[in-house]
Structure 1
Amino acid sequence: MTILPDPASLVNEDRADGSIYSNPDLYTMEMDRIFMHNWIWVAHRSDLPDPGSFITTFIGQHPVIVSRDRKGEVHVLLNRCRHRGATVCEHKRGKAASFVCPYHGWAYGQDGALRGVPFQEGYSGQLDKSKHPLVSLRVEEYNGLIFATFDPDIMPLTDWLGRAKVWIDLFMKQGAGWPVKTMGEHKFTFPGNWKIQLENTTDAYHFPIVHKSFLDSVDNETQTIFDFVEGEGYVEDLGNGHSVMVMIPDLVDLEDNLDAPIPARFEALAEALSKDYPPEQVRRIVRAVGGSGFNLNLYPNLACSMAFFRVLRPLAATETEIRHIAIGMDGGPDIANEVRLRLHEHFQGPMGFGTPDDSEAWDRVQRGALAGYNIDILLNRGLGHEARRENGNLFSDVSAETGMRAAYRQWLADMTRTTDAEECA
């Protein structure tokens, strides 16, 4: 009989045992209790622009297809033929009328229904196609963000997102009046646990240290904007593991303060836009190009991070895949989207200043946490002056670890929940 780790003994309000980054048995529990029983982000609406559009991705360890059928409905389907288990789609994205297993040719519609079986007469009437569709997961959408879950009894997505919804709405104002769209991505892995990256999204404390090379690469005006550790920003617990880190309060709502001076680095863009757009719309576009002034962590796998989506996928206890997805204005001016891409490349790109430095830090956390035994990871920064808003949200200064505590509070709730399989054991 396998003795499972006791999560309650590993995580407290202000600290965690270092083994949470490396214990393979704990990782196996996480894949079940967290990634099988929560809403997991799988796609953005713009990834499925037309009937027949699809992408392939993962929910924890499970390969899935996210597709839009002929009626426009979105489906999240397990990428597994119901005959012998082969994947029925290996393309990352595209358009398809059906998904066909390469092993025996079973064909499935965009909604997962089994449409065709070669040489069906060999089953002598013992095969009912209606009983063997691709397994379909529960799927819901909020403001363009598509989530799926294995758990049929989970609360509605809008309830799960809760107080994070207002921040999603603010983040989507980067469309400057147009819908937001994805504009490509880059993907990489780092040799570390997924929770190391989860912590990073609301960690302002590291920014002036880890990202000094980035700060040295920008003009003085931009340096001042990103000098936020001692500023008026804050980190706030939004419930259900979600949190927000406000770094630049003036850029929380991109539709506010449109009369503010255009930053010098965007003056050339504003001049070019002024040939086709009125002054107020030019200012709105320029503010959107610069991105939002906050990072929103949607537990457990999505960050709406200033001006891009960061998606984590656990691969093993000590390996994680990260996707950085650039976003822009769907129908907006090409020149503005091009500037957004250049800004994305400057920090998040594989040759940029931010991602390589972050990855090195995550790698070193993983390696260092293996040293010694019973040595805690500290999560107590800002705890001494954490306060509660009228709506119940806990918050503290921008360099506080309030967001990490929010995530681990939900992690602990998930990990100490008894699953149906364990109740039957």
Structure 2
Amino acid sequence: MSINDLDIEITADNVHDLAPADLVQSDRVAGRVYTDPEIFELEMKNIFEKTWIWVAHESELPKPGSFKSTYVGRNPVIVTRDRRGEFRTLVNRCRHRGASVCEQPSGQANGFTCPYHAWSYGLDGKLRGIPYPDGYEGVMDKKDMGLKTLRTESYRGIIFATFNEDAEPLEEFLGDVKLWADRFLKQGGGYPIKVIGTHRFKFKGNWKIQLENTTDGYHFPIVHRSWMASVDAETADMLSFMTDPASTCHDLGNGHSVMHMVPEHIDLDDDDGSEPLQPRFDDLVAELKSAGVDDEQIRKLVRSMHGTGSNLNLFPNVGLSSAFFRVLRPISVDETVIEHVALGPDAPAEIAGPVIRERLRIHENFQGPFGFGTPDDAEGWERVQRGAQTSPEMPIMVNRGLNRETLAPEGWPTSHSTDESGMRAAYQMWKKMMSDD
């Protein structure tokens, strides 16, 4: 019996009666998964409140008292570095009447005080003070009324949180992702990476449409033709992966996947010195040389300028995409916020200054709000959403490369970078988490 024999035929007559998990099949997905508000509510409960969700990079919380406001699913949270230097994730709702205790996107604080009745909390979430406490004598114990705290764990500075106290340890959830995350983190050119800027935008579409995109090599030279025409020949040639058999996509388990666009840059430490540096960076090379940076270090920094040669998709909400983090946040069944987080080396000023300046220009040219990539992607995502709304039974096909998928020596289901192995991986994890059992 093949996996296709287990699929249920989806029609206009039965599409609204099927359980959510039955809408995901071996080679296709019913459009209802993009459009049904009840399915969206289940996703928030079964996925975004049950598994590990990316919340921050440690460079955004550089010292005790640093904080960042963000979300886990639709729940507002504050990520802090407490006085002992530990990372914590606190639900941003006062335990008294539910008001938010922090409205700043980031900053430095000794704690958080609710503006409604002035209940105050420490960086660890503990309730520190209540005005006029005599009314609570014999009614409430302060130690039981701290801000709700989520399990928080990090892997090499990448911080995740979950509402699920029984979730597997983060490193087990990441599994084989760790190898690729380690490679992604090498783009600092010998230095740690740090966040150097973030911009946000919304698109009118379901969050899973963007989840599919990070390891979708098939769309790249079609949707991003204008960007390809805007860059130098060396950059365009570097991304000519459509017919390169070495350009592959791996299913890494737990819904995660990785796609190689520039195979020779998968591991930036693998450098035999034969690859010429792109002429577009001649001015940067000259500037670094004048600052006394040696040739070997300059080569590492310049080869890292476009990030790594792979897009790594972590189910359900973050991509470690070449040179940046792409974070998705569901708002509703047909609205999603995307954050593009630019990265650069945490290096001495004479190195960080010129390198970060150049990396920001590269980021702006593609990912920025006036760049060539983001508007084109968002247009495609919104068109998919509009199409799905009209025919919820119509299949969304994820079968490209199914007939040429093989197992890599590591055991990863693998096909070409233009195939849809990454999407199938994500949807099988979605199916598992959305199943009744």
Q: Hey, what does 1:257 align to over in structure 2?
A: 271
Q: Hey, what's the Cα distance between the residues in 1 that align with 2:213 and 2:370?
A: 20
Once the two structures are superposed, residues 100-131 of structure 1 have per-residue CA deviations (whole angstroms, 9 ceiling, x without a partner) of 00010000000001001001112234332111
What is the aligned counterpart of 1:267 among 237, 262, 282?
282
Secondary structure of the 2:97 match is: coil
Q: Hey, what's the Cα distance between the residues in 2 that align with 1:184 and 1:121?
A: 46
C-alpha contact 2:31 2:391 (8 A) present in aligned 1: no
Once the two structures are superposed, residues 24-50 of structure 1 have per-residue CA deviations (whole angstroms, 9 ceiling, x without a partner) of 000000000000110000000101001
Gaps of 5+ in 2: 1-15
Q: Hey, what does 2:5 align to over in structure 1?
A: none
Give, in angstroms, the shift of residue 340 of structure 1: 0.4
C-alpha contact 1:4 1:25 (8 A) present in aligned 2: no
Sort the Cα spacing of 1:125 and 1:258 in 2 relative to 1 into closer, same or farther, 3 A: farther
Secondary structure of the 1:265 match is: helix
Q: Hey, what's the Cα distance between the residues in 2 that align with 1:194 and 1:4?
A: 23
Q: Hey, what's the Cα distance between the residues in 2 that align with 1:373 and 1:295?
A: 30
Q: Hey, what does 1:130 align to over in structure 2?
A: 143
Q: Hey, what does 2:342 align to over in structure 1?
A: 326
What is the aligned counterpart of 2:239 among 222, 226, 229?
226
My pick for the range that moved more, 75-84 or 268-277, is 268-277
Gaps of 5+ in 1: 419-425
Give, in angstroms, the shift of residue 330 of structure 1: 1.0
C-alpha contact 1:79 1:134 (8 A) present in aligned 2: yes
Give, in angstroms, the shift of residue 4 of structure 1: 8.5
Task: Give the TM-score, by structure 1 length.
Answer: 0.96
Q: Hey, what does 1:89 align to over in structure 2?
A: 102
Once the two structures are superposed, residues 3-42 of structure 1 have per-residue CA deviations (whole angstroms, 9 ceiling, x without a partner) of 9860232010100101111000000000000001100000
Tell me the amino acid that sits aligned with residue 287 of structure 2: A
Q: Hey, what does 1:300 align to over in structure 2?
A: 316
Q: Hey, what does 1:110 align to over in structure 2?
A: 123
Secondary structure of the 2:159 match is: strand
Tell me the amino acid that sits aligned with residue 388 of structure 1: L
Give, in angstroms, the shift of residue 149 of structure 1: 0.5
Tell me the amino acid that sits aligned with residue 249 of structure 1: P
C-alpha contact 1:312 1:321 (8 A) present in aligned 2: yes
Secondary structure of the 1:170 match is: helix
Alignment of 1:116-195 (within 5 A): 116-195=129-208
Q: Hey, what does 1:313 align to over in structure 2?
A: 329
Once the two structures are superposed, residues 153-197 of structure 1 have per-residue CA deviations (whole angstroms, 9 ceiling, x without a partner) of 111000000000000000000112211100111100000000000
Alignment of 1:24-423 (within 5 A): 24-231=37-244, 232-257=246-271, 259=273, 260-275=275-290, 276-332=292-348, 333=351, 334-418=353-437
Give, in angstroms, the shift of residue 368 of structure 1: 1.2
Q: Hey, what's the Cα distance between the residues in 1 that align with 2:117 and 2:45?
A: 31
Q: Hey, what's the Cα distance between the residues in 2 that align with 1:315 and 1:352?
A: 24
Tell me the amino acid that sits aligned with residue 222 of structure 1: T
Q: Which runs of 4+ in 1 moved over 6 A?
A: none
Q: Hey, what does 1:422 align to over in structure 2?
A: none
| Identity level (%) | 52
Give me the CA root mean square deviation: 1.2
Task: Give the TM-score, by structure 2 length.
Answer: 0.93
Give, in angstroms, the shift of residue 322 of structure 1: 0.3
C-alpha contact 1:182 1:327 (8 A) present in aligned 2: yes
Tell me the amino acid that sits aligned with residue 267 of structure 2: D
Give, in angstroms, the shift of residue 369 of structure 1: 1.6
Once the two structures are superposed, residues 347-394 of structure 1 have per-residue CA deviations (whole angstroms, 9 ceiling, x without a partner) of 000010000000100011111122335211100000000000222110
Once the two structures are superposed, residues 121-145 of structure 1 have per-residue CA deviations (whole angstroms, 9 ceiling, x without a partner) of 1223433211111111101000110
Give, in angstroms, the shift of residue 417 of structure 1: 4.2
Tell me the amino acid that sits aligned with residue 281 of structure 2: F
Give, in angstroms, the shift of residue 264 of structure 1: 1.3
Q: Hey, what's the Cα distance between the residues in 2 that align with 1:374 and 1:314?
A: 22
Sort the Cα spacing of 1:159 and 1:373 in 2 relative to 1 into closer, same or farther, 3 A: closer
C-alpha contact 1:33 1:417 (8 A) present in aligned 2: no
